[in-house]
Structure 1
Amino acid sequence: MIGYAVIGSDDIDSAGKFYDPIAQLLGARRIHAFDRGIFYGVTEFELAVVTPFNGEAMRPGNGTMVALKAPSRKVVNEVHALALETGGIDEGAPGIRRREESGFYGAYFRDPEGNKLCVYRMGPA
């Protein structure tokens, strides 16, 4: 099981402006912040946005994606719209993936620095 995920940023202040409202929609908040990063979660950190430890420029991973669980399909739609309104790039509009009976409803976007994310809800509408 995954304990938490980390994505890179070269500008923590800008990343915070992008991720703070997304975290709020998902029922999470800043758990910890320091000069190199911000950790988000509900009771403990689950997603960290940090500058690379080695001091080099951040580079999004090819084929790397973080998926964020939403409490409803409505929140999936809201997070996707908010991401695009605040500088994110659309990678797939909200909708059923695979077949309706799978119950996977997701949307995909990249943050302003190129990290790919999915926000999703499993289960019936």
Structure 2
Amino acid sequence: MLHHLSFAVTDLARSAAFYDAALAPLGYVRVFADDTCVGYGYPGGGDKFAIKLRANAAIPDSGFHLAFAAPDRESVARFHEEALGHGGQDNGPAGLRPHYGNDYYAAFVLDPDGYHVEAVINN
């Protein structure tokens, strides 16, 4: 359904370091970058997620979050570990979330600007 999504960030270098590290275990890489924007997607493809430098980024409240698809449970755990090691805040460690489904395995973090971000596999 969605083609792509972008977040406004206040410090592009800080956010890019966070997303470079957090998204790598999920198989996502930088597919483009310039002085005001960094795009992420699968190697050789277009961007599906981008961060864009904005001095006055308005972060949505906790009712908004973005979930990235993970290839396996190990990748979810590595996403969480890398995110915390690169400026993210814990918002729920890697584990099963049976209230979302029997096989719903996810980890939750807040990125350096405060966006709610998740990595998930549902099998």
**Fold-level match, TM-score > 0.5?**
yes
AA paired with 2:21? P
Partner of 1:23: 23
Check whether the contact 1:7–1:48 (CA below 8 A) recurs between aligned residues. yes
How many pairs align? 120
> Normalized against structure 2, the TM-score is what?
0.89
- Kindly tell me: are residues 103 and 37 of structure 1, through their superposed partners in 2, closer, same or farther at Cα, counting changes over 3 Å? same
Q: Percent identity?
A: 28
2:122 aligned with 1:122: yes
Cα shift readout 1:7-39 (whole Å, capped 9, x = no counterpart): 121111111111112222111211111221100
Structure 1 spans left out of the alignment, 5+ residues: none
Cα shift readout 1:72-95 (whole Å, capped 9, x = no counterpart): 101100110111111111111111
Partner of 2:71: 71
Name the Cα RMSD after superposition: 1.6
Partner of 1:103: 103
Structure 2 spans left out of the alignment, 5+ residues: none
- Kindly tell me: are residues 99 and 10 of structure 1, through their superposed partners in 2, closer, same or farther at Cα, counting changes over 3 Å? closer
AA paired with 1:18? F
Alpha-carbon distance in structure 2 between the residues aligned to 1:3 and 1:101: 26
State how 1:41-60 maps to structure 2 within 5 Å: 41-42=41-42, 43-52=45-54, 56-60=55-59
2:80 aligned with 1:80: yes
Partner of 2:91: 91
> Normalized against structure 1, the TM-score is what?
0.88
Check whether the contact 2:106–2:121 (CA below 8 A) recurs between aligned residues. yes
